[in-house]
């Protein structure tokens, strides 16, 4: 804690889960949340999130030894923003994906191209004409950028999953969406299988109550391979993170409970066709597990090199 604001916590773990270092990041009287972390080609660990007191997108970089290298804030004119995802580039820089409030509508995808030291080269907004909430930024075919999130349907005001493809200059190439027109689907995480080129999107779906885990698998061109709803037997469930698993399958992490204030940790895997192969839920529940829920939502993936993992939470 610093003043009245919550600090973000960055933890680097070794291959066996041993803690290598812990860093607390924050400013007096200001809350910070980190929501994604990547390792750049130069070896820097870059994390992004928001400075909650001002609703400003921010990024911070650490060396492999835990030394802070730089800190940057990105403040859009006439609005607020919150970072969602990072994508390293070969030149040592990165793309930063954020949500940005717009004067003529609610939220848009905000894509920022940054240098190795976190300085902005350019930025652009993408998305629909309604509310767009970004969650994931991945490399696609031929070096294109694949942006995934949730967008509000302007007719019935429910959310569907949204996908925007852009080139590396930030120009939109195409866009599409998935979801039942009467149900509410929101995205929480996405990954790409490097061997097959397929994408897996994960989050939650509901027609009111209850709400359950939801995932969809796409081929490299964006066509649906399978679409599934998942449940651990509770009335309030959400998949918060996803990673490629054995032989074309996927590993999911999230939470399950009978309300958002009583979550249990939830892990399960699926095979290549989306069928569940095993599932596990924790025995402890309660609002005290909200930190774990935030951690799973923030970063359910190892950094690029397998020798260590970085986790963080608010």
Domains, the chain, ranges and CATH?
A: 1-126 (2.120.10.10), 176-308 (no CATH)
The pLDDT profile of the chain, 314 residues, written as one tens digit per residue, is 334 467 788 888 888 889 999 988 777 667 788 888 899 999 999 999 887 666 788 899 999 999 999 999 887 777 788 889 999 999 999 999 998 887 666 778 899 999 999 999 999 988 888 888 889 999 998 899 999 998 887 777 788 888 999 999 999 998 888 776 667 888 888 999 988 999 999 999 987 778 899 999 999 888 899 999 999 999 889 898 899 988 889 999 988 988 777 788 899 999 999 999 999 998 877 655 555 545 454 444 444 333 444 444 44
Question: Residue 63 is encoded by which pair of tokens?
Answer: 């060396």
Tell the burial category of 119 from Cβ atoms under 10 Å away from its Cβ (0-12, 13-18, 19+): exposed
Q: Is the dihedral of CA 169, 171, 173, 178 positive or negative?
A: positive
Q: How many residues does the chain have?
A: 314
Residues 162/177, Cβ–Cβ less than 8 Å: yes
Instruction: Say whether 313 sits in a helix, a strand or coil.
Output: strand
Q: Where are the beta strands (DSSP E) in 221-274?
A: 224-230, 236-244, 250-257, 264-270
Choose among 185, 162, 84, 69: nearest CA to 116: 69
Question: Residue 189 is encoded by which pair of tokens?
Answer: 């995480």
In sequence order, the 6+-apart residues with CB closer than 8 A to the CB of 119 are: 72
Question: Residue 213 is encoded by which pair of tokens?
Answer: 């885990």
pLDDT, position 310: 45
Question: Residue 211 is encoded by which pair of tokens?
Answer: 């709400």
Question: Residue 72 is encoded by which pair of tokens?
Answer: 């940057």
How many CB atoms sit inside 10 A of residue 70's CB? 14
Residue carrying the six token digits 């399958």: 249
Residues 226/211, Cβ–Cβ less than 8 Å: no
Instruction: Say whether 25 sits in a helix, a strand or coil.
Output: strand
Question: Residue 234 is encoded by which pair of tokens?
Answer: 């509770």
Between CA 278 and CA 269 the distance in angstroms is 6
pTM: 0.85
Residues 113/93, Cβ–Cβ less than 8 Å: yes
């Amino acid at each position: 804690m610093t003043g009245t604001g919550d600090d973000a916590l960055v933890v680097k773990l070794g291959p066996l889960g041993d803690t290598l270092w812990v860093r607390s990041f924050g400013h007096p009287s200001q809350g910070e949340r980190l929501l994604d972390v990547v390792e750049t080609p130069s070896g820097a660990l870059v994390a992004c999130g928001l400075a909650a007191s001002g609703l400003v997108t921010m990024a911070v970089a650490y060396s492999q030894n835990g030394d802070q290298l730089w800190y940057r804030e990105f403040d859009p004119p006439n609005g607020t923003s919150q970072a969602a995802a990072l994508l390293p580039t070969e030149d040592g820089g990165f793309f930063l994906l954020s949500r940005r409030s717009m004067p003529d509508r609610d939220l848009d995808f905000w894509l920022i191209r940054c240098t190795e030291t976190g300085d902005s080269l350019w930025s652009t907004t993408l998305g629909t004409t309604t509310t767009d909430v970004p969650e994931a930024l991945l490399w696609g075919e031929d070096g294109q950028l694949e942006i995934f999130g949730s967008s509000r349907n302007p007719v019935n005001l429910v959310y569907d999953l949204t996908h925007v493809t852009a080139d590396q200059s930030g120009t939109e190439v195409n866009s599409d969406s998935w979801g039942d027109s009467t149900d509410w689907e929101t995205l929480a995480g996405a990954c790409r299988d490097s061997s097959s080129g397929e994408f897996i999107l994960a989050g939650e779906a509901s027609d009111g109550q209850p709400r359950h885990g939801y995932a969809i698998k796409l081929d490299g061109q964006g066509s649906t391979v399978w679409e599934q709803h998942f449940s651990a037997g509770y009335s309030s469930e959400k998949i918060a993170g996803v990673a490629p698993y054995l032989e074309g399958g996927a590993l999911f992490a999230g939470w399950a409970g009978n309300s958002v204030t009583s979550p249990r940790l939830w892990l399960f895997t699926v095979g290549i066709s989306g069928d569940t192969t095993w599932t596990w839920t924790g025995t402890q529940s309660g609002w005290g597990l909200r930190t774990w829920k935030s951690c799973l939502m923030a970063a359910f993936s190892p950094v690029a090199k397998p020798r260590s993992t970085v986790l963080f939470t608010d």
